[in-house]
Amino acid sequence: MRTAVKLRSAFGLFALVVSAGACLAQTGGASISDLPEIRVQRPGPITPVMICEELGRAVEASVKEMAYYDQAELGTPEAEITNRKLSMVAEASKAQSNLLLMQSNKCALPKQPVSPRAYFHAAFACVHKTPKSGSGYIPECDRAKWVRSSD
């Protein structure tokens, strides 16, 4: 199945055909005037508040990722434990970089610690649940719904 659309932006008119196996493909004989049109607008200016919010979300995502890796290592082979520890170090480094960017942009820094223990209960619930009814989806692993642990 293919879907073809026209994209109109400040840079001109483009034909885009999306199929299951390819992002860009030929239009299959259709003329560009036959395709539906989607207007692409430039976003408004990026404000300091937007920068701070995005950096804050990035730090929080790193904390959640570290919490997951911290819990997932229980009962796994040594090689996997090593890989997870390396992943935690990489996430901690990303969090530190984003905190430094927040500081340089004069953003309010988070009041909570940057620690994998912050989401201990949520990560524990995620790691120790199995998918329901073969769907592969585990609601406890939806990080958007994770709440910081109070202890």
Counting residues of the chain whose pLDDT is more than 70, the rounded percentage is: 64
The Cα diameter of the chain in Å comes to 63
Instruction: Count Cβ atoms below 10 Å from residue 43 Cβ, excluding itself.
Output: 6
Which residue did the predictor score with more confidence, 11 or 56?
Answer: 56
Q: Is residue 151 part of a domain?
A: no
Do 54 and 15 share a structural domain?
no
Q: Is residue 35 domain-shared with residue 52, that is, in the same domain?
A: no
Among 4-13, 88-97, 122-131, 132-141, top mean pLDDT goes to 88-97
Do 7 and 79 have their domain in common? no
Q: Does residue 150 belong to any structural domain of this protein?
A: no
56 and 118 in a single domain? The answer is: yes
Strands (DSSP E) contained in 20-106 are 37-39
- Based on the domain organization, do 15 and 55 belong to the same domain? no
Number of domains making up the chain: 2
Domain that holds residue 58: 48-145
Q: Is residue 72 part of a domain?
A: yes
The larger pLDDT score, comparing residue 133 to residue 50, is at 50
CB 107 within 8 A of CB 51: yes
Q: Residue 15 pLDDT more than 80?
A: no
Residues 18 and 90 in one domain: no
Per-residue pLDDT, 55: 93
Q: Say if residues 11 and 34 touch (Cβ distance below 8 Å).
A: no
Q: What is the pLDDT of residue 18?
A: 47
